[in-house]
Structure 1
Amino acid sequence: MHDGYTDLIYVLLPVWQKEFGLGYAELGVLRALFSGTMASFQIPSGFLAERLGVALLLALGTALTGIGYCMAGASAGVGVLMLALFCAGLGSSTQHPLASSLMAQAFSGARSMKAIGTYNFAGDIGKMTLPAAASLLLVFMPWRPVLMLLGMMGLFAGLAIFVLTPRFAPDAGTSADHEKAAQLRIAAHRRFAFPILTAIGMIDSATRMGFLLFLPFILTAKGASLPTVGFALTLVFTGGAAGKLICAFIGARIGALATVWLTEGCTAALIVAVLPLPLEAAIPVLPLIGIVLNGTSSVLYGSVPELVTPERRARAFSIFYTGTIGAGATAPVIYGLVADALGISSTLTIAAGLVLLTLPLSLAIRGRPRMVE
């Protein structure tokens, strides 16, 4: 639901432009207000959850997101709309770190990676279904009642989370969790494991956003029409959604280290390979790129609980998600500047080379032949 709320804004931007007479820069501010608030308050959410409890704060955040969309539906001007999006973004800041922490508490070891991968996959389902539902409702109803209806869903979801989510003790975890936590405290070679994992996630996110930025232009240069570009992006996104689930199960089977080498190596190879291919040959490769481009994220998320003590999971997830989202937000700007100077093909070749940096970095956090067992 939260991921659906995040992408719902894209459906509403043209509506708001017509309703309030906004320019493109003002529309960009509205989008940035939601996403920037969400990203900025993830770390405070992680710290606050250690005091209030993960389940309670996640329920409150979900309800606040719903309230934000209800406010947006009742807004008579841009000022109220901005306040509504701030509230919605503030509520959504709880989702990534706290929901992931709950999954890690409920499932341990390899089960944790599978569970978090399934959770990530469910987020992509929400990104597809909630905006689609809003688009369908807008055919029959004005946009204000549509937002009120979708906002009420958030309120009910928050209540359901509060009632149904199990309460774990702050230091909940299996005996294996505590044994690993003790090892983390004394193992000097893993002292910087979590910061290195975060750096890998940031590189992975930056590569993903950079590739998606230039893909339409690559395809256009190969002779693709606008509908073909849209179809190609759909293939990438569909492969990406599947990759989050597939790679999580692969990671649970062969270990996170081997999976990172597999997915990141394939990402670099496929990005370079698609550049010289003709359009007819490039299109079938795109779902494979989507699988490996997004699949690594589930493996990295699933490795976070293994590198921190159980009572610090919410905090660790908040830091990890903030770092990866921030890298994904800034990468298009940096890669855009490089592309202006060197061209798109050279820029993507550089991006493919940079993603290979994750391979030696992953060796630095290897505590065992398998990072996650």
Structure 2
Amino acid sequence: MSAATIPSLRRDAQVIGLVGVAHGVSHFFHLILAPLFPWLKEAFSLSYAELGLLMTVFFIVSGAGQALAGFVVDRVGARAVLFSGIALLGLSALLLSQAHSYAMLLAGSMLAGLGNSVFHPADFTLLNKRVPTQRLGHAFSVHGIAGNLGWAAAPVFLTTIAALSSWRTALAAAACIPFATLVVLFAYRDLLRTDEAKTAVAAPGRSAAGGHVLDFMRLPAVWMCFAFFFITAMALGGIQSFSSSGLRALYGMSLASATAGYTAYMLASAAGMVAGGFMASRTSRHERTIAMAFTGSGIVSLIVAAGLVPSFLAIALMGVIGFGAGIAGPSRDLLIRAAAPKNATGRVYGVVYSGLDIGLAGAPVLFGALMDANHPSWVFICIGLFQSLAIFTAVSVGVNTARTAEARAAA
């Protein structure tokens, strides 16, 4: 390793780490209210439907805002947008901690959704512009793992403080996390500089290259990427919302054992992202990695749905499903990067990742209806079906992108 390479590696690691921490905070705030539902239900005399609506409005605002945030990222720069989003998360937690009505809870949830909306277009623009191509697979791997850690940390952090003090104290303490993160990011702000803001937009509605800023929306690959995220989010939403309930109904296992199944999924997913980072760095046909990973996960989901294996094995199989989903993560993000037109990274990631929020908002409705109808096996059947459908969208994007690249090379 040359002397010039060491500073470069250190700088790349710092950028990846900073963006990863920000992404972890974003995922932490996905669950800023759900772990506190028992306390909020009692404090405000809320129904389960009213509690669920708090999560729904979060993801609706986040999904709509994410598509718009991509345009802002491409115009003013990813760093400023990222800083704004983190600040909004901190303000939302403060607002929620002072809520004295259901309307204030809704307002706080919407503000958190607005803050969350900036992360994917800002994060991926920063990584794509600041990290060399040969390290992007590992960068996206760390990015995904950090998000999983945020999901894992939120319930422990919030419920522990709420049990020791109150739900208001828990939310006030949670507000310190994004503000502390913002201080760290500001201290290292030079590492997060990008050049988009210096590329003036020639006229309203026109890109620097002379085309319309909405031209990228005419690309079929963009909408196939959107469909991919929507479909995979439906599978993820089913796992997050009702996999534990489904395991209990199918296998008669205890709540602790069923929760262990979900934990196995999350831990194995993180391990899969590490492996997926290495795999993504060794190929340019990322759709093949995705197809392999989701084929395995989909088959295992159907095995779990059959309810024929011992309960301890069902828990282990949940880990296998998670490992496959994790492997697909870095390749998924690189697939989108390859499909995105030059200088439209923020817009493309904003639009396609809005499918993730829409899927996460809609999944609880579908899977909740299946559980209400006493069809727990269909929870896992649908998870497997959604993962299988995702293969077709990924392959379509990969083949289309490869053909486009070949045509440009031949021109």
> TM bucket by the smaller chain?
0.7 to 0.9
- Aligned runs of 1:1-80 on 2, under 5 Å? 1-80=25-104
Deviation of 1:336 after TM superposition, in Å, equals 5.9
Q: Is the 8 A contact 1:268 1:352 kept in 2?
A: yes
Scaled by the length of structure 1, what TM-score is found? 0.84
- Aligned runs of 1:122-141 on 2, under 5 Å? 122-141=146-165
The aligned counterpart of 2:282 is: 253
Q: Is the 8 A contact 2:159 2:170 kept in 1?
A: no
Q: Is the 8 A contact 1:74 1:144 kept in 2?
A: yes
For the pair 1:205 / 2:197, whether they are aligned, the reply is: no
The aligned counterpart of 2:292 is: 262
Aligned to 2:388, which of 356, 359, 363? 356
In 1, distance between residues paired with 2:275 and 2:316? 19
Aligned to 1:317, which of 337, 342, 349? 349
The aligned counterpart of 1:169 is: 195
In 2, distance between residues paired with 1:363 and 1:82? 39
Q: Is the 8 A contact 1:204 1:296 kept in 2?
A: no
The aligned counterpart of 2:273 is: 244
- Aligned runs of 1:41-120 on 2, under 5 Å? 41-120=65-144
Measured against aligned partners, the alpha-carbon deviations of 1:148-192 in whole angstroms (never above 9, x if no partner) come to 2321332232343344232111199xxxxxxxx9xxxxxxxx953
In 2, distance between residues paired with 1:63 and 1:354? 35
Deviation of 1:70 after TM superposition, in Å, equals 1.0
Deviation of 1:41 after TM superposition, in Å, equals 0.8
Q: Is the 8 A contact 2:65 2:114 kept in 1?
A: yes
Q: Is the 8 A contact 2:297 2:384 kept in 1?
A: yes
In 1, distance between residues paired with 2:378 and 2:94? 46
Q: Is the 8 A contact 1:251 1:258 kept in 2?
A: no
The aligned counterpart of 1:187 is: none
SS at match of 2:32: helix
The aligned counterpart of 1:216 is: 245
The aligned counterpart of 2:340 is: 308
In 2, distance between residues paired with 1:77 and 1:283? 40
SS at match of 2:46: coil
Compared CA separation, residues 52 and 143, structure 1 to 2 (3 A): same
Deviation of 1:76 after TM superposition, in Å, equals 2.8
Deviation of 1:263 after TM superposition, in Å, equals 0.4
The one-letter amino acid paired with 1:168 is T
Measured against aligned partners, the alpha-carbon deviations of 1:55-83 in whole angstroms (never above 9, x if no partner) come to 01110111111011112222233333322
Aligned to 1:272, which of 275, 286, 302? 302
Scaled by the length of structure 2, what TM-score is found? 0.76
Deviation of 1:228 after TM superposition, in Å, equals 1.5
Between the two proteins, the alignment pairs up a number of residues equal to 355
> Aligned-pair RMSD on alpha carbons?
3.0
The one-letter amino acid paired with 1:260 is I
Compared CA separation, residues 59 and 263, structure 1 to 2 (3 A): same
SS at match of 2:327: helix
